[in-house]
Amino acid sequence: MPEGTAQAIIPDNALQFRNDTHRKTDPVPTQTSLWRAFTPVGATYDPLSGDAETDVTILGAGFTGLSTALHLAKAGTTVTVLEAEDVGYGASGRNNGQVIPVLTRADPDALCARFGEAGERFVKLIGSSAAYLFDLVREHGLNCEAEQNGWIQPAHTPGRFKAISENRFRQWEKHGAEVELIDKSELDRRIGTNFFFGGFGNRTGGHINPLALTRELARAAVENGAVIHEKSPALSYGQEGDGWRVTTPDGTIRSRALVVATNAYTGELAPGLAPRLARSVMPVTSWQLATAPLSDNVRSTVVPDRQAISDTHGDLHFFRYDARNRLITGGALAMPFNGHQRIRARIAKRLQRIFPQYVEPEIEYSWTGYVGATRDHTPHFHRLGPNGWTWIGCNGRGVALSVTLGGELAKAVMGAEEQDLAFPLTEIEPLPMHKFLRLTSRPFTLSLYRYRDWREMG
């Protein structure tokens, strides 16, 4: 454990359920997530009622909204966060908690070629995002089971290892990131399997309990003067005079600036809020699973140094330990029917294939969340009007990114020039036939990924 890293081992008997807010808008009816079962209950915040004014209104209490609120509140700005459900209801409270300072596909050369100087600044932000998150955790004493032990991307074929060595590794090294290329024998030792063919590592990565981090960001933001309202879905927003007006079921709030931080959940809880923005991403269901705690014996060979691992498969293979020594893993299903049972069986088999020494993995928790997928596999940043900002589409790599973007969005709200912001602005582009594609495209894309994964093995 690196010096100063926040680490809180929560005893296994600390089962504390807040009202189970997984509700019928969930992609599939879920069971309680591991994070909801074991994370200490946070504060609750009253709904917005009546007319209010603030300097900055933020919609959504996930990493993006709360990190932005924390940065603004620290700078002395009056800021109010409206959350439709409760803090961490969206992806931030449900994810795998891997702190990864690279995007899924787009590497530095592609981002710089596409976005020019803004791309260069964005690359710098991505590359520093894991360190940024862990520094924020240390600075504010955020109690979130943080372990900065590094992140590793193992290659599932020799061809992928070659591609990583020649592209991803070389490009990030050129940009000064703390990356390493790991040969097969060293990787076999680090992960505890001969399933992979070498890998790419970043020493600044690691993992956190995401729901704990979300609740702790809320605590820190409020301690610095931010106001949060839960159970306050923004139904609509619009420009009024020089500023913005947001309506909820029981109130309105006026402000100079607006940050829409609803990400992949934009169209889920108040469909009329920002329909064009909602149609610019595809919310894709990701299944998360937690095993029973591993025995000391097995743990001494399975990822003994506790890094976060996510590999090169299109049908991603990923896992990390939590503070109670469970493996937190997951996967994808083409169709959700009988999902909990099918995904548990599928991933137990996968774990056994990767780790033959881990006999009969037992899955104890399964839950789901929406990942916001964009057509170009790259996050999108938009100006909604004067002093109105949003971003959307993490493509599964948004833990470090969204926390770091909080600092950048705060800068934007406080009046930074566009050429000083570390994200490239584009126009909102709704996807054609969004509703139809949402219903039909998953089986095809996943089958395509699996076919490619299989073909590359040959």
Neighbouring-strand partners of residue 247: 236, 252
CA atoms within 13 A on the CB side of 298: 19
Residues 257-296 that bind ligand FAD (CB under 6 A): 261-266, 269-270, 273, 286, 288
Q: How far is the CB of 214 from ligand FAD (least distance, A)?
A: 7
Based on the number of CB atoms within 10 Å of its own CB, is 356 exposed (0-12), middle (13-18) or buried (19 or more)?
Answer: exposed
Q: What is the CA radius of gyration of the chain?
A: 21
Helix, strand, coil: what percent of the chain each, to 5? Answer: 35, 20, 45
Quote the CA–CA distance of 381 and 422 in Å, as a whole number.
10
Q: Is position 205 an interface residue for ligand FAD (rule: CB under 6 A)?
A: no
Q: Is position 199 an interface residue for ligand FAD (rule: CB under 6 A)?
A: no
Q: Is position 33 an interface residue for ligand FAD (rule: CB under 6 A)?
A: no
Q: Given candidates 156, 168, 380, 397, which one binds ligand FAD under the rule CB under 6 A?
A: 397
Dig out the tokens for 43 from the structure.
């504060």
**Residue 188: phi, psi to the nearest 5?**
-55, -40
Quote the CA–CA distance of 24 and 9 in Å, as a whole number.
32
Q: How far is the CB of 440 from ligand FAD (least distance, A)?
A: 21
Of all residues in the shown chain, the one whose CB is closest to ligand FAD is: 398
Q: How far is the CB of 423 from ligand FAD (least distance, A)?
A: 13
Q: Is position 80 an interface residue for ligand FAD (rule: CB under 6 A)?
A: no
Q: How far is the CB of 22 from ligand FAD (least distance, A)?
A: 12
Of the candidates 407, 417, 422, 401, the residue with the CA atom closest to the CA atom of residue 71? 407
Q: Which residue has the tokens 């603004």?
A: 72
Q: How far is the CB of 437 from ligand FAD (least distance, A)?
A: 19
Of the candidates 321, 295, 323, the residue with the CA atom closest to the CA atom of residue 308? 321
Q: How far is the CB of 228 from ligand FAD (least distance, A)?
A: 11
Q: Return the number of the residue (224 or 368) whose C-beta is nearest ligand FAD.
A: 368
Of the candidates 390, 392, 395, the residue with the CA atom closest to the CA atom of residue 280? 392
Q: Is position 92 an interface residue for ligand FAD (rule: CB under 6 A)?
A: yes
Dig out the tokens for 31 from the structure.
């069971």
Q: Given candidates 70, 91, 112, 303, which one binds ligand FAD under the rule CB under 6 A?
A: 91
Q: What angle do CA 45, 50, 54 make, to 5 degrees?
A: 70
- Cβ atoms within 10 Å of 353's Cβ, excluding its own: 11
Q: Return the number of the residue (22 or 156) whose C-beta is nearest ligand FAD.
A: 22
Q: Is position 112 an interface residue for ligand FAD (rule: CB under 6 A)?
A: no
Quote the CA–CA distance of 153 and 443 in Å, as a whole number.
25
Q: Given candidates 394, 409, 413, 422, which one binds ligand FAD under the rule CB under 6 A?
A: 394
Q: How far is the CB of 353 from ligand FAD (least distance, A)?
A: 21
Q: Given candidates 94, 190, 203, 380, which one binds ligand FAD under the rule CB under 6 A?
A: 94
Q: Given candidates 33, 80, 95, 153, which one binds ligand FAD under the rule CB under 6 A?
A: 95
Quote the CA–CA distance of 328 and 361 in Å, as a whole number.
12
Contact segment (CB under 6 A) with ligand FAD among 25-33, 58-66, 137-145, 184-192 equals 58-66
Residues that bind ligand FAD (CB under 6 A): 59-65, 82-85, 89-92, 94-98, 100, 233-234, 261-266, 269-270, 273, 286, 288, 369-371, 394, 396-400, 402
